[in-house]
Structure 1
Amino acid sequence: MMTSFPSAPPGTNDQLSPIRSSRPHDLLEGGLILWPGGATELQVFDSWAALAQQAWTSVGYALVADGDALVAQVQFEGTSRQRVPGSIVVPLLRAGACTRDDVRAVMALALDRPDCQDRIRRRLAESFRSVIVDEVFDANELDLRVVELMLQSGIGTTLVGDPWQALYVFRGATPDAVRELMLRHAIARADLTESFRWKTEAQRSLAADLRAGSPVAIEVAQPDEAVDVALSSTWKPLWNLGSEVLPLAFGSFKGGYEEAGATLLLHYFASVGGEQYFGRQYSHHGLVGSMLTR
């Protein structure tokens, strides 16, 4: 029976990444899962863009399970997007390379098999005495399945998080499942009653009012008032803030050549403050405007 499994959503708790990455290696070494091409040691990358140039194409790839064996194959998808073509990815997979999304997909497949679950629980118990999972309320379903295996393995597991700071629900985080996990395993709860993040009483009061659902008023900065960072959800207003603001747009880093070039360029700008760029005076100590992108 051939079973395909898609990549997990990008909203994952990266602190669990070393654990997720090491378990597929162990399953491969134990012969429970057979990698395309027979590799037992994998090189895990953030994205395929770290290895090859992206192109606008509908040619993707898929990892499918045929019994214990994984098969890599080129797959034509319905829409085109910027990606490394599947015709390039498949040989890389067969050579033992993969991305973190591929690791998550393999883990999701393995956790549906009792023999793999037993192996993972045993190896976790042999490898870890205790684990601290920070920002646990941003964990997705796969992350929490790994946490549950750690709890079942008898590992001392500490979960740290604040449901008010669960930011990635739109990318797969499951805050309610964290509460269910804590109840299911009778995990003791210790509340942090003092925040070390706020420097002034006004900040502490504002945070307390927001948590309590009370109405609040946020002061608007005056035109001549100095600020450190200007944030905007759209691009155009940043260009109207003044000549001392250099608008910058930030997206997710994919590890490609373009990002590397942009990083070097920005580093150069920061090292030669006072020069004119794009008709604006840029200073290393000046203001930086950043557009928040989704």
Structure 2
Amino acid sequence: MKIRKAVFPVAGLGTRVLPATKAMPKEMLTIVDKPLIQYVFDEAREAGIEHFIFVTGRNKGSIEDHFDRMYELDATLEARGKKVELEILAHHQPQAGAVSFTRQQSPLGLGHAVWCAREIVGDEPFAVVLPDELVLHTPGCLAQMVEAAKEAGEKTNLIALQEVPADQTHLYGICGVGKRHGKMFEVDGMVEKPAKGTAPSNLSITGRYILQPEIFDILATQERGAGGEIQLTDAMIGLAKAQKFYGVEFAGERHDCGSKAGFLRANIAYAMARPDLRDGLREEMRKYVKG
């Protein structure tokens, strides 16, 4: 199963990290020296994605600008002999025609945002990548899923899963565990934010999916669910009646950058993974953890 396209839902308001996101998209918040959206773009490109589809909303223009060329900056860097900086910009620049943008005009939830990409995705399997969830690992989470998709076969769907504490399952979409197939297992039911004590497992749905295009037909008529929004999990439950879903327990350290604490942890984790920053950061942190 070849996965060529990835959808990035980036229309959210980022209310959990206000006031930082009042005028700046949460996807442009910086982890060390790159915005969140660049990390997930790089993860998708590493996984072999060829077409990157961003579902945006109001006040998200800086995301489009980020993936465009800034000729004035290039010219200034070249005039000043900043070859390293030019190489960094060139490395992160998408190929011409590889990026598309479409609008989610109303904040109706993740499922609705994915549905907004239907005309660009077309009739082929595709990935969904949530930009506020980062996974620190090489190869990346999506690359692991694409590799698993080769074993899953045609007309199957995959969900990235990771364990969460049992007392927190009510905060996530949770999957039931069925028959094992190597690194994967058949998903035996899904529930969005189950009531405490009712979750079928402690495996939570992370922000990485590989879905078949039939999901769009279900999303077109999907009723609102948790939070009064059109939930992607609810649509996947409907699709699971006709197609197989596999869970992929990925390797890596998951960071929820949509929360303030998660955002801070991600900055520390990604900086500590950098040989050029690790020692200096460790020394600085000692000043704040004494006693």
TM-score by structure 2 length? 0.25
TM-score by length of 1: 0.24
